[in-house]
């Protein structure tokens, strides 16, 4: 039995391919693994706050030294961190916005990337503390950025690999619906490819 954390970061409730495909994957996963627990967090419906100076100050204050206001400030971050720590599998719907992740997903990452909590610094360098987790990222983009001339603009996959790897999460699969604005055939082809990947991943 596994704990699955499902994160949606598309700002659109309708018409979002990353939301649609990630939901299809989670539904198939649940059908294949009915005993698993699914925790859903929709960053569009319930966005987490962007970092502020007060938040950073609270993060870097030891728990036992925080005042009441600081303790309240870190509650959201603590909840998000606990969700990630408890997860065996993380599913992220992450559309590409302006070559990178949405601001809501970046805010979520800023809350879970906590020194001394999800990573630590040692004499030999940083060490991620969120090990042993599998991540599936469902992304959608109007153009093609996994290869060819557009690859240089892909700051979504490169960023997520880097930041999640920094936290100790290195087993990451990207399921891309790309070129969706390049005509009906391109859209049909990439959706078929994505759905084939979903079937193969759930069956694995």
Residue 99 annotated in ligand binding: yes
The pLDDT tens digits for 99-153 are 999 999 999 999 999 999 999 999 999 999 999 999 999 999 999 999 999 999 9
pLDDT, position 141: 97
d(CA 102, CA 10): 7
Residue 16 annotated in ligand binding: yes
The pLDDT tens digits for 5-25 are 999 999 998 899 999 999 999
CATH of 3-203, one of 3.40.50.360, 3.30.360.10, 3.20.20.410, 3.40.50.720: 3.40.50.360
Residue 18 annotated in ligand binding: yes
Residue 96 annotated in ligand binding: yes
pTM for this predicted structure = 0.96
| CB 8 within 8 Å of CB 40 | yes
Residue 98 annotated in ligand binding: yes
Region 59-80: mean pLDDT is 95
Q: With 90 as the cut, is the pLDDT of residue 204 above it?
A: no
The pLDDT tens digits for 155-176 are 999 999 999 999 999 999 999 9
Cα–Cα separations (whole angstroms), residue 19 to 11, 42, 66, 197: 9, 10, 38, 16
Q: How high is the mean pLDDT of the chain?
A: 96
Residue 8 annotated in ligand binding: no
């Amino acid at each position: 039995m596994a704990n699955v954390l499902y994160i949606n970061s598309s700002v659109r409730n309708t018409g979002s391919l990353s939301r649609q495909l990630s939901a299809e994957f989670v539904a198939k996963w649940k059908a294949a693994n009915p005993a698993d627990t699914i925790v859903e967090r929709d960053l569009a419906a319930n966005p987490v706050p962007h970092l502020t100076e007060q938040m950073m100050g609270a993060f870097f204050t030891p728990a036992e030294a925080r005042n009441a206001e600081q303790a309240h400030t870190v509650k959201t971050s603590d909840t998000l961190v606990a969700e990630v720590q408890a997860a065996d599998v993380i599913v992220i719907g992450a559309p590409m916005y302006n070559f990178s992740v949405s601001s809501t997903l970046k805010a979520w990452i800023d809350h879970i990337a906590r020194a001394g909590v999800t990573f630590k610094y040692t004499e030999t360098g940083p060490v991620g503390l969120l090990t042993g987790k599998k991540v599936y990222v469902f992304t959608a983009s109007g153009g093609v950025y996994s290869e060819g001339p557009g690859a240089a603009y892909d700051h979504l996959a490169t960023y997520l690999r880097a930041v999640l790897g920094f936290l100790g999460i290195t087993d990451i699969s990207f399921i891309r619906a790309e070129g969706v604005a390049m005509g009906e055939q391109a859209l049909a082809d990439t959706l078929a490819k994505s759905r084939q990947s979903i079937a193969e991943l759930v069956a694995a």
